[in-house]
Structure 1
Amino acid sequence: MIDNREYGGVCSQRGCDPKKLLLASSEAFQKAKDIKGDGIAGDVSINWRDAYNYARRYTANIPSNTEKDLKSKGIKCFHGEAKFINPNTVILDDEEIQADNFVIATGMQPLTLGIPGEEYAQTSGEFYELKDAPEKVVFIGGGYIGMEFSHLLHRAGSKVTVIEKGDQILNPFESFTANLLEKESSQMGINIIKNAQVSSIEKVDDRFIVYYAIDNNIHQITTDCVFNTAGRVPSIKTLHLEKANVVTDKGGVVVNEYLQSTTQTHIYACGDVSSKSLPLTPLSGIEANVVGNNLTGKKQKLEITAIPSSVYTIPQCAGIGMTEQQAKDSNKKYHIKEEDSRGWFNNRRINASLYGYKLIIEKESDAILGAHIVGPEAAEQINMFAIAMKAGMTFKELKKVIFNYPTWGNDLKSF
């Protein structure tokens, strides 16, 4: 196994896990704020340094423990940049390593902005090295990373601006839920600028000026730090895959249903770097099992059902299956159920500010084509739809399930 960084991967070190650990204080802060005067007294604030230390206490030992566990299983572990020199050989620090099979699991890396001053923009990985909340911060890109980070720092006291080049944040989430979250974020005090193209970043003393264009007019904003959250691309550039005759496209290594390279069947790709993948941790685990089985002689194809995806802002935004636009483009005959549900009991119980949903139901079969929720527990509620869609349940059958009351899951019966 060769990794150019510490072992453990993005999710445990620079992604899902530290993000949700930092989020714990934001969730507690928001709940206390929402219920103030209805049972909570006094002021609550976030100490970002304490939140940072809390997250690091959890993640600190993961690399060493991971590498120790791998070595205990007889796996040879290396660090550095491996490059293919032919289909059966990689070179690492002038050492040639040959193998009968290769598995490429290099994940993704931040998209290059391609603008002057890009070197001043920090990446999502560097966000987790931020020991103190800046006074002002700009995020270039309003995808799930940019929106999650903006919510974290806003509640920690930073003045946050998000610059998005498109006309919707959280593309490709359902516009109904994304637009509700955008409105809520703006009302909180997050400055969201859409249809704007960042043209350059300039460093002046200890601060930065971000220049961006809207309708051919140049604007600027001064900030303490800038983050590139414009998206991520497959991490394949340094592998020299062309020397192994491995075909790639914008989605990564082009693979077949067994996750083998279509041009070199002894080379596999799984996780975010595979052309058949989405950047989601649970899917990467499934793909790893498929590759493992195929390497050990158990022929297995990758079979993917509907995949839930969530944005851990406050409130959360989650979706599974088709958006309405995708259903329309597929010529599906469907009907829509959508509602602003902020007046429902579970939302009112905690004085939360936003709760709503949108469902896309196939007319003839009553099949659930897509489900989209924005609210305090959207990420857990969407799991109910994942189970239903995996089991082939119709929407009417899902509503007949007896749920514990009064839970967020039980709210599905009112959808």
Structure 2
Amino acid sequence: MTYDYDLFVIGAGSGGLAASKRAASYGAKVAIAEESLVGGTCVIRGCIPKKLMVYSSHFPALFHDAAGYGWKVGEAELDWEYFITAIDKEVRRLSQLHIGFLEKAGVELIPSRATLLDPHTIEVDGRKVTADKILIAVGGRPVKPDLPGMEYGITSNEMFHLQAKPKHIAVIGAGYIGTEFACIMRGLGCEVTQIIRKDLILNGFDEDIRTNIQEGMTNHGIKIIQNHVVETVEKVPEGLKINLSGENKESIIADVFLVATGRAPNIEGLGLEKAGVETCCGSIEGPGYSTMDAITVNEYSQTSQANIFAVGDVTDRMNLTPVAIGEGRAFADSEFGNNRRVFSHENVPTAIFSTPEAATVGLTEAQARDKLGDDGVKIYRTRFRPLFHSLTGAQERTMMKLVVDASTDKVLGAHMVGENAGEIIQGVAIAVNMGATKKDFDATVGIHPTAAEEFVTMR
């Protein structure tokens, strides 16, 4: 049978862009459909604009710290309108850049929503087209709990378009999105309250990362309300009244309420059932909270329909931009490049751009102990005041940690909380991924004086 395209990609985010360009490089006829700006969550409403906000949030502390080095800095003021406009301008520039990359690769861009009609037919831009293979890469979307008053809350999508800087922002959610925005807004001068359902933020990360970030956030003036859940939100003359259930059942008044309780695969209305694409595994996590179905795939990103594939957040495997890119390229290599391969989800490094920053690769201490037992794991840990702050007076602390297999000496995980953690762990991840031992770390000469040298001097 003859098809209009060898590959049709639904969604021009990180995974879809990577897959389409790689497939086209092998000579495939490729089209990609996107109903929003090209670039996906990362470029448009995630990693890039968020990191720009992170940079801005660090300036007040730098102005303050400069005094410890003898600098006299006058009153500083943030022009919010200029700031938000500059971020939006950069996002749109990057989106146009990605469109240019598609054109250069020979990929046809269709700026429209696409839905599946059957395993080989797609409805897009008011017409029907066919494809030999279809890749679904539509990513995820923020979701809110089904609780009274949640319509007054905003999500991470709207954080980049606030018309004015909030005086007091309340954040519900203990994940990395809620934690990062709590730190960003505090750095930008807002009063910040973060509401979490348990004792600690960042469930699933190493315990030392969780405790050190939370301690740092508290020291920076963020109020963290533990062991509480939001019951209702009301609009009152003073702003938004957030009513809680928990130990004290207190209420909070804020002018902005950020709901950062998770993201869900963006599969609604795609026509998956018409194409025979299976999903799983939604669940209820508590009153008002639920997780949404994701597209089921095998190790080659293949769905239950043999010619339809899915990569990135829509599969809910590991929701990171570099992972979506890696999955997309592995798919293209396997299906169009005569190089069948699997993208490895092992030892994927990641960072939390909170203040203090953190980064991690490999196993947490708890995961290693579950796997090898308490006697099978050695932990090397250091915590110190960074040299930079020896003159500032700030009570900042850096934490570094190695998780080591006691029998083989292999480094199973590396974790850091502190300035430039992401930059440092990126290099450490190479060693961990190559199977380096603690002896290999010890044999590496440190660069002095740096924080990073602590990873090769811990004994």
* Fold shared, TM-score > 0.5 on shorter chain: yes
Conserved 8 A contact 1:346-1:407? no
Distance 2:219 2:74 in 1: 21
Deviation per CA, 1:282-319: give whole Å up to 9, x if none: 11111111111123142222223301111112221111
Conserved 8 A contact 1:29-1:44? no
Equivalence for 2:457: 414
Equivalence for 1:3: 34
Q: Greater CA deviation, 10-19 or 202-211?
A: 202-211
Equivalence for 1:31: 62
Q: CA deviation at 1:205?
A: 4.7
Deviation per CA, 1:29-77: give whole Å up to 9, x if none: 3233224232222345351334323323322222233234424544332
Conserved 8 A contact 1:46-1:155? no
Residue from 244, 253, 277 that aligns with 2:295: 253
Distance 2:249 2:116 in 1: 44
Equivalence for 1:384: 427
Q: CA deviation at 1:354?
A: 1.7
Equivalence for 2:379: 336
Q: CA deviation at 1:93?
A: 5.4
Q: CA deviation at 1:350?
A: 6.4
Equivalent residue of 1:242, what SS?
helix
Report whether the alignment pairs 1:155 with 2:199: no
Q: CA deviation at 1:169?
A: 0.4
Conserved 8 A contact 1:108-1:272? yes
Residue from 206, 213, 222 that aligns with 1:190: 222
Residue from 331, 334, 338 that aligns with 1:294: 334
Equivalence for 2:416: 373
**Structure possessing the higher relative contact order (Cα contacts under 8 Å, 6 or more residues apart):** 2
Distance 1:2 1:206 in 2: 44
Residue 409 of structure 1 aligns to which amino acid in structure 2?
Answer: A
Q: Greater CA deviation, 291-300 or 59-68?
A: 59-68
Instruction: Please tell me the root mean square deviation across aligned C-alpha atoms, in Å.
Output: 2.2
Equivalence for 2:127: 95
Report whether the alignment pairs 1:303 with 2:334: no
- Unmatched 5+ stretches in structure 1: none
User: CA 1:46 to 1:399, structure 2 compared with 1: closer, same or farther past 3 Å?
Assistant: farther
Conserved 8 A contact 2:359-2:416? yes
Equivalent residue of 2:55, what SS?
helix
User: CA 1:53 to 1:94, structure 2 compared with 1: closer, same or farther past 3 Å?
Assistant: closer
Equivalent residue of 1:392, what SS?
coil
Alignment of 1:270-289 (within 5 A): 270-275=311-316, 277-289=317-329
User: CA 1:351 to 1:389, structure 2 compared with 1: closer, same or farther past 3 Å?
Assistant: farther
Residue 321 of structure 1 aligns to which amino acid in structure 2?
Answer: G
Equivalence for 1:231: 262
Residue 220 of structure 1 aligns to which amino acid in structure 2?
Answer: S
Distance 1:347 1:412 in 2: 20
Equivalent residue of 1:380, what SS?
helix
Identity of aligned pairs, percent? 30
Equivalence for 2:89: 57
Equivalent residue of 1:210, what SS?
strand
Conserved 8 A contact 2:67-2:392? no
Equivalent residue of 2:243, what SS?
strand
User: CA 1:219 to 1:93, structure 2 compared with 1: closer, same or farther past 3 Å?
Assistant: farther
Distance 1:356 1:247 in 2: 43
Deviation per CA, 1:83-102: give whole Å up to 9, x if none: 22322223235532321111
Q: CA deviation at 1:411?
A: 2.4
User: CA 1:345 to 1:42, structure 2 compared with 1: closer, same or farther past 3 Å?
Assistant: closer
Conserved 8 A contact 1:31-1:350? no
Alignment of 1:331-370 (within 5 A): 331-332=372-373, 333-342=376-385, 345=387, 348=390, 353-370=396-413
Report whether the alignment pairs 1:165 with 2:193: no
Q: Greater CA deviation, 331-340 or 36-45?
A: 36-45
Equivalent residue of 1:239, what SS?
coil
Equivalent residue of 1:37, what SS?
helix
Distance 1:16 1:266 in 2: 31
Residue 354 of structure 1 aligns to which amino acid in structure 2?
Answer: R
Report whether the alignment pairs 1:111 with 2:152: no
Equivalent residue of 1:36, what SS?
helix
Residue from 313, 324, 329 that aligns with 2:354: 313
Q: How many residues matched?
A: 411
Distance 2:399 2:72 in 1: 29
Residue 78 of structure 1 aligns to which amino acid in structure 2?
Answer: I
Distance 2:75 2:456 in 1: 35
Deviation per CA, 1:134-183: give whole Å up to 9, x if none: 01111110211111111111122211111112321012211212112111
Residue 318 of structure 1 aligns to which amino acid in structure 2?
Answer: A
Distance 1:189 1:44 in 2: 20
Conserved 8 A contact 2:397-2:418? yes
Conserved 8 A contact 1:178-1:317? no
Residue 55 of structure 2 aligns to which amino acid in structure 1?
Answer: A
User: CA 1:77 to 1:327, structure 2 compared with 1: closer, same or farther past 3 Å?
Assistant: same
Distance 2:252 2:93 in 1: 39
Equivalence for 1:266: 307
Distance 2:398 2:37 in 1: 40
Equivalence for 1:82: 114
Q: CA deviation at 1:202?
A: 1.6
